């Protein structure tokens, strides 16, 4: 084969490098946060809230799925940017030609040809700009969705963490109630042997003990299920739930009220799902512009040098031209494409407005839930203290022979209920704080010390 033009030889490796799948020449993924490196704790290490959340964000497949979706949309931005650059294609060919003509000697020749085509869209009345703007907005929506997914995984891990601790406290409370019921049974048996109690007292005390034992068994089963749910939230198999560090004592601050209007305004500026909806609405508007401009003329520049060697006869040719393409009629298809794009843009606007209202409702409900949970937590402490004192008095009176078994069992039932309410109030308060932060769009690593009771949180307890 004869020597090819140098320009064609240089374009072959250039095209191979430019098409590399790992390259990002437009840096479209610069604003996308990749998955964090997973630092697995040593086996048997008791994990605190921060470690649980870190492992959930690192291991949970939802975060990787959202990251991949954002990268895919970044690729669409790169495709839209590429439309502004010229396109260059090279062709190479070779053939062996055998010619056999009657009464003449057969001829054989080797034909080698090469060509280079260059095309560049110079002007299209804004189609490329609008397409690129749509891709950019969809990328912004994907990044916001990735942030929202991370917050959802964050909240799920936090809820599962507190649920395990709440059910562990419920198991402990059920164990204390079972111990109290056993003491009541012992007191009833002692009085029965002394002749100061009837068999009915002993039977009622035995029934109460059996009920307390059943409650403890069910609480232990719920705890095992909660541990499995926590492992799942952390991206682990359900039977591989890690041990957890104990919760530090954490009481509600004296004042936590904030202006709800300010919280709603802050949420509308920070909520990633609302940011995604706004970006999708802007992308839809850009799509309308691109669809309208698609029916306008386009101006393109083209050039095509060629080279051919036909059995020793070499020819070179080239062409340069400007093409103006003017769409005249497409069977009203363009009209309906514009109408469709406008309707989709209106749909996106309505979805954004609906979400703005939902954000206000989310913040309002989360704020009221936190207010209720805080008040309930304080009241449950008083209720528990009163129930413990009542149970001690009732047990002492029964042992002294001046109280009835019904009074004792009633006091112990009230104490068991108070313990469960204290456990539930503590769980509700812990989760409601995180739910309020999530409704405002402020659920991130910075809130973890606040949830652990280390520092006050201006977003939840008032401005400094």
Beta bridge partners of 464: none
* Dihedral over Cα of 79, 81, 84, 88: its sign: negative
pTM as predicted:
0.81
* Strand, coil or helix: 21: coil
Q: What is the reported pLDDT for 106?
A: 67
CA distances from 219 to 51, 172, 216, 337, 416 (A): 26, 9, 5, 60, 13
CATH number of domain containing 158: 1.20.1600.10
Count of domains in the chain?
A: 1
Helix (H) or strand (E) holding 204: helix 199-233
Residue 65 domain-assigned? no
**Residue range 55-109, pLDDT digits in tens:** 898 888 999 899 999 999 999 999 999 999 999 999 888 888 777 766 666 677 7
Query: When comparing pLDDT for 23 and 29, which is higher?
Result: 29
E strand segments, 4-161: 87-99, 107-123
**Residue range 186-224, pLDDT digits in tens:** 999 998 888 887 889 989 999 999 999 999 999 999 999
Residue 175 domain-assigned? yes
Measured between alpha carbons, how far is 140 from 150 in angstroms, rounded to an integer?
15
Residue 238 domain-assigned? yes
Residue 235 domain-assigned? yes
Q: What angle do CA 123, 126, 130 make, to 5 degrees?
A: 140
Residue 253 domain-assigned? yes
CA distances from 176 to 189, 388, 396, 397 (A): 20, 11, 17, 20
* pLDDT-wise least confident of 39-53, 64-78, 243-257, 355-369: 243-257
Residue 278 domain-assigned? yes
Residue 8 domain-assigned? no
Which residues constitute the domain of residue 401? Answer: 126-296+332-461
Measured between alpha carbons, how far is 418 from 429 in angstroms, rounded to an integer?
16
Residue 181 domain-assigned? yes
């Amino acid at each position: 084969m004869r020597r090819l033009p140098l320009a064609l030889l240089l374009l072959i490796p250039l095209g191979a490098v430019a098409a590399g799948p790992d390259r990002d020449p437009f840096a479209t993924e610069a604003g996308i946060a990749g998955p964090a490196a997973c630092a697995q704790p040593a086996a048997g290490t008791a994990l605190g809230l921060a470690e649980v959340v870190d492992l959930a964000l690192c291991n949970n497949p939802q975060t990787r799925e959202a990251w991949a979706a954002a990268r895919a949309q970044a690729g669409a931005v790169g495709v839209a940017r590429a439309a502004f650059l010229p396109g260059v294609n090279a062709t190479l060919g070779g053939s062996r030609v055998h010619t056999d003509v009657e009464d003449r000697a057969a001829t054989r020749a080797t034909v080698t040809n090469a060509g280079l085509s260059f095309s560049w869209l110079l002007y299209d009345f804004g189609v490329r700009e609008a397409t690129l703007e749509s891709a950019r907005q969809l990328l912004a929506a994907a990044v916001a969705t990735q942030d929202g997914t991370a917050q959802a995984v964050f909240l799920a891990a936090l809820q599962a963490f507190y649920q395990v601790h709440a059910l562990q406290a419920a198991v402990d409370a059920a164990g204390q109630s079972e111990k109290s019921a056993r003491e009541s049974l012992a007191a009833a048996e002692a009085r029965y042997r002394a002749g100061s109690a009837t068999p009915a007292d002993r039977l009622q005390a035995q029934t109460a003990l059996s009920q307390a034992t059943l409650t403890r068994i069910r609480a232990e089963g719920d705890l095992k299920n909660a541990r499995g749910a926590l492992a799942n939230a952390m991206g682990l198999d359900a039977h591989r739930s890690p041990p957890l560090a104990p919760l530090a004592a954490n009481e509600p601050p004296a004042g936590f009220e904030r202006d709800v209007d300010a919280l709603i305004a802050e949420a509308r500026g920070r909520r990633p799902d609302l940011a995604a909806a706004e970006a999708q609405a802007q992308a839809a508007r850009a799509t309308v512009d691109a669809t309208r401009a698609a029916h306008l003329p386009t101006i393109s520049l083209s050039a095509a040098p060629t080279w051919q060697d036909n059995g020793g006869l070499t020819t070179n040719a080239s062409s340069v031209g400007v093409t103006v393409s003017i769409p005249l009629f497409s069977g009203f298809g363009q009209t309906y494409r514009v109408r469709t794009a406008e309707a989709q843009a209106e749909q996106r606007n309505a979805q954004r407005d609906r979400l703005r209202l939902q954000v206000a409702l989310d913040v309002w409900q989360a704020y009221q839930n936190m207010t209720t949970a805080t008040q309930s937590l304080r009241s449950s402490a008083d209720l528990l203290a009163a129930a413990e004192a009542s149970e001690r008095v009732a047990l002492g009176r029964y042992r002294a022979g001046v109280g009835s078994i019904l009074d004792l069992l009633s006091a112990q039932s009230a104490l068991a209920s108070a313990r469960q309410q204290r456990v539930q109030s503590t769980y509700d308060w812990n989760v409601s704080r995180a739910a309020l932060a999530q409704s405002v769009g402020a659920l991130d690593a910075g809130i973890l010390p606040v949830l652990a009771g280390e520092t006050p949180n201006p977003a939840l307890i008032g401005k400094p």
